[in-house]
Amino acid sequence: MHTLEPLTEEAAGSLLDLCFPNLVARVRQRLIFEAQGNPLALIDLPIALSATQLAAVEALPTPLPLTPRLQGLHEERIALLSARTRRALLLAALDSTGDLRVLRTAARTSKLFDDLASAERERMISVDDLNQQLIFRHPLIRSTVVQLSTGGERREAHRAPGQRGSRKT
């Protein structure tokens, strides 16, 4: 088995320039950030965006939409998590701050850490107790959590106490 290291930011930019030479600078930079050196993500993320998003006429959504191929990278692992864990991850993905205090309020449960434990064991997230932060190991995991949720689940998560305003989903 070979372990491939992520592309450097420079190499990621070169790949995007080769495959999508007309990307607007701020869209290009966001794609580089979201892909975190994953070549497949660099090639597929632009495909999931509309022409107006690629041209920066329309704002890029948070999180970015995924192609079925990118969604498939994490879909099975997320689907195996309990409903409570998936709900806690959805709250975190939509909040985007990672602030555990906000997530505890939104989750309406004192068992938030129990709910997140399986996702942490699966290395989808890390929980920084000192700074009270939940960190997704990769932005693609965050995007997949959102894409796997239903519209009703997203609306419910947005209505949760402590959630920061409405977001595009």
pLDDT in tens, 95-107: 878 999 989 888 8
Peptide bond into 61 cis (omega under 30): no
Q: How far apart are CA 51 and CA 37, in angstroms?
A: 23
Categorize the per-residue pLDDT at 163 as very low, low, confident or very high, splitting at 50, 70 and 90: low
- pLDDT for 169: 41
pLDDT in tens, 120-162: 999 999 999 899 999 999 999 999 999 999 999 999 998 887 7
Q: What percentage of the chain carries pLDDT values higher than 90?
A: 78
Q: Which of 33, 50, 64 is nearest to 143 (CA)?
A: 64
Stated as kind and residue range, the H or E segment containing 40 is helix 39-44
Strand 125-128 with 133-136, pairing: antiparallel
What number of residues does the chain have? 169
Categorize the per-residue pLDDT at 164 as very low, low, confident or very high, splitting at 50, 70 and 90: low
Contact 114, 150 (CB under 8 A): no
